Amino acid sequence: MQIEILGHNKYESRKERYMNETRENPLGEKKVTSLLRQFAIPSIIAMLVSSLYNIVDQFFIGRSVGELGNAATNISFPLSISCVAIALLFGIGGASAFNLTMGRGMKEKAVYYMANAAEMLFICGTVLAVITLVFLEPLLRFFGSPENVLGYAMEYTRIVAFGFPFLILTTGGGHLIRADGRPKMSMLCNMTGAVINTVLDAIFVFVLNMGMTGAALATVIGQIISCGLALWFLSHCKSVKIERKHLRIKSEYVGRIVSLGAAPCSNQLSMMVVQIVMNKSLTQTSHIEISYAP
């Protein structure tokens, strides 16, 4: 009789723990159709808003600097695609590993995937920024920059590179926040950065006449503020609590994350190759004779 009571209590405690976890994260209990509406719509809005970074820069640069300024942003665009590739590698990979592990009821292990993914996002972003700054001119020439565009491209990319860690952590962290059951918070991070970028672009480029430098600074400031929001949401997860011990990088977690995020990452890398080939093709077929004047 005592064994039966203990077994019943154990079953009740397990059931209660499961109900608590599903209340914290709706992915465990809601209908698929409801989840699609709840998660897909904010995700689509976030992706559309993210594209505003490049569109807004192109608009303000085109009106103030001209066609060579627009060409410069296209030359540096493969680096932006690289940021998205890294963000998807560890963002989608980490989110998938986290949700799969949570679905198995292994909450203590799942938090390591989220923490390791977030840390790898920032580390890889920092490495990419350093590589870009050290090899800036050779990279831009490799991306297809002609001589009359190179000055503008270097002026813009030299500043934007400082925002790579923040851009990657915001983009990838959005997937982790979404995996925690908060798609609207993920959307908020993207929208905040885009709005700030738009406002500062108008001030820096049109009011202060800062040209390429102003557009780049507006972009980086928006990315830093978005990253701050993403970090705050990640440090206040609903379903898990990230502690310092979870930030210890372990190959078993990183390997699993990379395996799940490799597909979307490779898709972005292929887009980067297409962009580079297109830049080189346009360089060979177009001849713009306007010289760079800093």
> What is the three-state SS of 117-171?
HHHHHHHHHHHHHHHHHHCHHHHHHHCCCCHHHHHHHHHHHHHHHHHHHHHHHHH
More confident residue, 294 or 246: 246
Q: pTM, whole model, 2 decimals? A: 0.82
Percent of the chain with pLDDT over 90: 41
Percent of the chain with pLDDT over 70: 80
Query: pLDDT value at position 8?
Result: 47
Residue 79 has pLDDT above 50, yes or no: yes
Give residue-wise pLDDT tens across range 231-242: 999 988 888 888
User: Is residue 139 within 8 Å of residue 61, measured between CB atoms?
Assistant: no
pLDDT band at 245 (very low <50, low <70, confident <90, very high): confident
Domain ranges in the chain are 67-279
Query: pLDDT value at position 19?
Result: 47
